[in-house]
Amino acid sequence: MSAERPAAPKPKIAILEPRSAWRAKLQETLAGLYSHLVISATYDEFLVALQEMPFDLAIVDLWIDDAAGDADHSAQDSLEALLYLTEHALQTRLVVIGEADGREPLLETPGISDQIAFLPREQFSPEALQAIITRHEDHLSSPISLGHTGVLISLELQPPRVGTRIGMPRVLIVEDQPFWLNLFARMLEEANYFWRAATTYAQALGRLRLESFHVVLLNPSVSAASTGEAQNWQLLDYLTRHCPRTKLIAISGKLSASEVAKLFIGYPIRGYVDKNSFDKNSLLSLIERQINKSALRVQTLGDFRLWRDGRQITHLGAPEAELLLKLLITRRNTAVPASDLLQCLAPQSSLARDFARLTETINAVRFALEPELPRPADSRLILREGASYRFVTSHQVEIDVDLLEQRLNEARLSESKGEIADAIRLYEQAIALYQGDYLPADRHIAWTANERAAVQALYANALNRIADLYAHEGDLDKAIQAANTALSVDAYAEITYRRLMRYHACKGDRKAAAAVYRTLVKLFSELFAEPISPLTQRLYEDIAADRPISCVEVRPGTGEFQALSSD
């Protein structure tokens, strides 16, 4: 009797499905049939699941929603999930569920694998889904050439892949003349923008439903029908209704003056470019002006406050949004894992709900900081990178901590050049920026401690350096005041005590200098159980013996001792 053949191991399946009704439907269809089934409602939750274990198959809902501008999940999330799977999970088979008209733009999307099984939502049934899942990998959807559509045949350049050029302007070109289509594409590619192209109304509609854009360059003559005044400018109507935050720039060489006037009267056109007098730099400048580039100012010292274009932002959405933004700003320009960000939120009833809350909170913050975004994922301040988020600084973002460090570096440079007056001015500016400790209301939170200590060290350094410069210039009262403030920040800096001893002695108050020394001895012996340094001991003996001393221990801008006598 032959041995019974062991059953094939059941596959592990990961699902990204933002809608509760469809999650329930997939759960009902697949529960109990597979060794491990993870159904995620958000992109973050889905990616965290993928990073925890390998899956044999992934099912992604290509959720196309015309009102996705304020949604927590959009088709762009689905695209980025598919891109992640394509790049990081090569052994995972891919199944996409979506509207039938979403298949074509999906396959035209650069970076998305064409080895995807597509199940039209209109044809969904448990049997149809089971048939796709159980089908052998070699019999999945056949490869489809990405050059089979008119738009890609017309293009000389390959558009950027999904998930690339994060934080750059996103522009859609809608143009049916190959010369102009390729001219605009080359121009945007040279500017390193994220761009897509469409030559027909249907292609443009597919792209707009699948991806979001800051700007659309639109030839208004590209419409659903080739003739008929009633059908003209149909895409403009769609953009006005469904993409209100997307900026529109019309481009044509055939419109009459009255038609151009009609454009501006009937639609929210931000600019018009006449092909007959086309200028590349003017168009790029026009595009750049449409991108939300509000100036953001952040105060973290003494209090936490935000200003956008000079107006204070008082509401960030969810109650936990402020703490989440504080963490992103504290770790600015570095990727913060979603798991770390979850710690800023009050736990919900389930991990799935926690991730949904994280998505909602981040999106609320994005809109608070950049209210004109087409969709949250288009933020140029809070970027998503895999299952992490990064707060990006630029010349449009001013954070008091960064400005303090910048002024301190500039002061040191002036000091090293012997430009004492400029150095004092810059140190004073740096000191004025310090309005108090870093995020004082959150000193109980561990991730604020390192930044708080680092900023305090910068502040104390600025005080000590300006104290020496004041003394060098003969202003001993200001030098004493600055050194005392430095001690209030860092009472363990022995060199600061020596500074005060020198300043008092040079001012002729040797009793005050001796009092500083006694305070130092008491502090170090009683609290730290440490002896003072021979350098400090020798300075005290010189002062007590009324011997000449230098008023400044270190020459400004150098590490050399300065020999300015107190006599």
DSSP 161-203: PTT-STTS-EEEEE---HHHHHHHHHHHHHTT-EEEEESSHHH
Positive/negative CA dihedral, 41, 46, 52, 58:
positive
Looking at residues 311-315, what average pLDDT do you find?
94
pLDDT for residue 504 is more than 90:
yes
Specify the CATH number for the domain of residue 514: 1.25.40.10
pLDDT for residue 106 is more than 70:
yes
Positive/negative CA dihedral, 440, 443, 444, 448:
positive
Domain co-membership, 346 together with 467: no
Mean pLDDT taken over the chain:
86
Contacts of 92 (CB under 8 A, 6+ apart): 14, 54, 55, 56, 57, 58, 85
Residue 451 near residue 330, CB atoms below 8 Å:
yes
Could you give the CA distance from residue 181 to residue 452 in angstroms, rounded to a whole number?
A: 52
pLDDT for residue 3 is more than 70:
no
Name which residue leads in pLDDT, 150 or 412.
412
Q: Tell me which of 343, 372, 395 is where a domain ends.
A: 395
Could you give the CA distance from residue 162 to residue 83 in angstroms, rounded to a whole number?
A: 7
Residue 251 lies in a domain: yes
Q: What DSSP string describes 70-118?
A: G-SS-HHHHHHHHHHHHHH-TTSEEEEEE-GGGHHHHHTSTTS-S-EEE
Q: Which of 281, 174, 280 is CA-nearest to residue 234?
A: 174
Looking at residues 473-500, what average pLDDT do you find?
94
Domain co-membership, 94 together with 192: no
Q: Tell me which of 247, 275, 290 is where a domain ends.
A: 290
The pLDDT assigned to 506 comes to 94
Domain count along the chain: 4
The pLDDT assigned to 291 comes to 84
Q: Within 13 Å of residue 368, how many CA atoms lie on the same side as its CB?
A: 18
Domain co-membership, 384 together with 406: no
pLDDT tens per residue, range 283-309: 999 998 888 677 999 999 999 999 999
Residue 227 lies in a domain: yes
pLDDT for residue 318 is more than 70:
yes
Q: 478: how many CB neighbours lie within 10 A of its CB? A: 17
Could you give the CA distance from residue 328 to residue 343 in angstroms, rounded to a whole number?
A: 12
Q: Tell me which of 290, 316, 334 is where a domain ends.
A: 290
β-pair type (305-308, 311-312): antiparallel
The pLDDT assigned to 469 comes to 95
3-state secondary structure 524-542: HHHHHCCCCCHHHHHHHHH
Residue 170 near residue 188, CB atoms below 8 Å:
no
Tokens of 336: 């913060």
Domain co-membership, 279 together with 390: no
φ and ψ at residue 61, rounded to 5 degrees: -85, 120
Q: Work out the pLDDT band at 226, boundaries 50, 70, 90.
A: very low
In sequence order, the β-bridge partners of residue 171 are 195, 215
Residue 504 near residue 549, CB atoms below 8 Å:
no
* 266-292 CB burial, b ≥16 within 10 A, e <16: ebebbbbbeeeeeeeeebbebbeebbb
Domain co-membership, 328 together with 278: no
Q: How far is CA 200 from the centre of its chain?
A: 34
The pLDDT assigned to 223 comes to 61
Tokens of 559: 């590490």
Q: Work out the pLDDT band at 524, boundaries 50, 70, 90.
A: confident
pLDDT tens per residue, range 117-173: 899 999 999 888 888 887 644 444 433 333 334 455 578 899 999 888 988 899 999
Tokens of 12: 């592990």
The pLDDT assigned to 542 comes to 92
Q: What DSSP string describes 216-279?
A: EEE-TT--SSSS-GGGTTHHHHHHHHH-TTSEEEEEESS--HHHHHHHHHHS-EEEEEEGGG--
Specify the CATH number for the domain of residue 124: 3.40.50.2300
75-88 vs 43-52: helix axis angle to the nearest 10? Answer: 10
Q: Which of 83-87, 304-308, 387-391, 508-512 has the lowest mean pLDDT?
A: 83-87
Q: Which of 3-12, 113-122, 236-245, 506-515 has the lowest mean pLDDT?
A: 3-12
In sequence order, the β-bridge partners of residue 60 are 16, 96
Q: 497: how many CB neighbours lie within 10 A of its CB? A: 25
Where in the sequence is the domain holding 184, given as residue range(s)? 150-290
Residue 558 lies in a domain: no
Q: Which of 27-36, 82-91, 558-567 has the lowest mean pLDDT?
A: 558-567
Q: Which of 511, 508, 487 is CA-nearest to residue 499?
A: 487
Q: 397: how many CB neighbours lie within 10 A of its CB? A: 19
Q: Work out the pLDDT band at 369, boundaries 50, 70, 90.
A: very high
Residue 413 lies in a domain: yes
Could you give the CA distance from residue 93 to residue 352 in angstroms, rounded to a whole number?
A: 24
The pLDDT assigned to 482 comes to 97
- CA R_g for the chain: 32
Could you give the CA distance from residue 367 to residue 373 in angstroms, rounded to a whole number?
A: 7
Residue 71 near residue 90, CB atoms below 8 Å:
no
Domain co-membership, 350 together with 485: no
Residue that is written with structure tokens 């992604």 in the block: 60
315: exposed, middle or buried (Cβ count in 10 Å: 0-12, 13-18, 19+): exposed
Q: Work out the pLDDT band at 230, boundaries 50, 70, 90.
A: very low
Tokens of 34: 């597979």
pLDDT for residue 502 is more than 90:
yes
Domain co-membership, 36 together with 125: yes
Residue 272 near residue 264, CB atoms below 8 Å:
yes
Domain co-membership, 281 together with 377: no
Domain co-membership, 53 together with 177: no
Task: Calculate ∠ Cα 14-18-20, nearest 5°.
Answer: 100
Residue 338 near residue 48, CB atoms below 8 Å:
yes
Residue 206 lies in a domain: yes
The pLDDT assigned to 346 comes to 84
Domain co-membership, 463 together with 352: no
pLDDT for residue 315 is more than 80:
yes
Domain co-membership, 226 together with 251: yes
Q: Which of 148-162, 335-349, 543-557 has the lowest mean pLDDT?
A: 148-162
Residue 559 lies in a domain: no
Amino acid code (one letter) for 77 = D
Residue 22 lies in a domain: yes
The pLDDT assigned to 154 comes to 73
Tokens of 447: 């991730």
% of the chain with per-residue pLDDT over 70: 89
Q: Work out the pLDDT band at 228, boundaries 50, 70, 90.
A: very low
In sequence order, the β-bridge partners of residue 15 are 39, 59
Specify the CATH number for the domain of residue 355: 1.10.10.10
Name which residue leads in pLDDT, 148 or 463.
463
Domain co-membership, 270 together with 329: no
Q: Which of 141-145, 191-195, 367-371, 444-448 has the lowest mean pLDDT?
A: 141-145
Residue 567 lies in a domain: no
Sheet holding 57-62, edge to edge: 36-40, 12-16, 57-62, 93-98, 116-120
Could you give the CA distance from residue 300 to residue 434 in angstroms, rounded to a whole number?
A: 9
